[in-house]
Amino acid sequence: AQTVTQSQPEMSVQEAETVTLSCTYDTSESDYYLFWYKQPPSRQMILVIRQEAYKQQNATENRFSVNFQKAAKSFSLKISDSQLGDAAMYFCAYLVEEGGSEKLVFGKGTKLTVNP
Amino acid sequence: DTGVSQDPRHKITKRGQNVTFRCDPISEHNRLYWYRQTLGQGPEFLTYFQNEAQLEKSRLLSDRFSAERPKGSFSTLEIQRTEQGDSAMYLCASSEGASYNEQFFGPGTRLTVL
C-alpha cells in the first residue's frame, strides 16, 4: 500500500527566508501524481503545487517549488521569500488510482510557523 | 460558484444519536470525495463518488456509516449510533475531469460526540 511520510511535525522560518519541507512516499507504481496542500488555521485546504511523476522537471508555482527525486521517492517543498500568510499546516499527498477509484493518501503534516 | 460548501459546520451530539452531513460540490464537478481528519493527523479517505456511483468505500467506513450522492449532485454522509471515536473533522472535496486534477476541499464539518 502507498504511504506518505512527513518527518517534520513542525518547522519555523523567518519572514523573507527560505524553508524546505520534507516528504517521502512508498509506491511500486512508475507513473503517479504528488501534491502539496496547505491548510491555514480554521480555513479550508487548498492546493499549493502538483507534480506528475513522468515529468523530469520540478514543478514551480511562484514562490513555491518542489525537489522531486523519483529514485529516492522524495518530494520536498521549498518556500522562498516566506510570508506571514504562509503559516499553516502543509500536507504532502499521493494520488492512488486503482479499480476505477481514486483517492489522496496524505502524510501527517508539517506545521509551519513564520516569524516576523 | 463559491466553491465546495458543507453543512453544518459544527455538530455536537450525544453518543448513540444519528447525524447527517451535507456536501455541495462545485457544480460542474463529477467526482466527490469524503475524508476524515482527526487532530494532528492528515485527512484519511472515506469514500469516492463518480457522478452518482459510489466507487469505493474505505475500511474506515463501518456499517454505521452510509453515504449517498443522488443524481450526482450534492452528497450526504450519515453516521448512525455515533460513538466518541467518531469525533473528527469530516471533509468533502470535489474535482472534475481527469483524476490528477485538483481536489477542491470544503470547510469541513466538525463533529463532537459527547
B42-90: per-residue pLDDT in tens? 999 999 999 999 999 998 888 999 999 998 899 999 999 999 999 999 9
**pLDDT at residue number B4:** 96
A20 has a pLDDT exceeding 80: yes
Q: Is B20 exposed, middle or buried (0-12, 13-18, 19+ CB in 10 A)?
A: middle
A71-106: per-residue pLDDT in tens? 999 999 999 999 999 999 999 999 988 878 889 999
Out of B3, B33, B42, closest to residue A103 by CB: B33
B101 has a pLDDT exceeding 60: yes
Query: Nearest Cα to B70, choosing from B53, B46, B95?
Result: B53
Q: Tell whether A105 is within 8 A of chain B (Cβ).
A: yes
First to last CA, chain B: 35
Q: d(Cα A97, Cα B97) in Å, to the nearest integer?
A: 14
Which residue is associated with the grid cell 503559516? A87
| In chain A, % of residues over pLDDT 70 | 100
Out of B3, B42, B106, closest to residue A106 by CB: B42
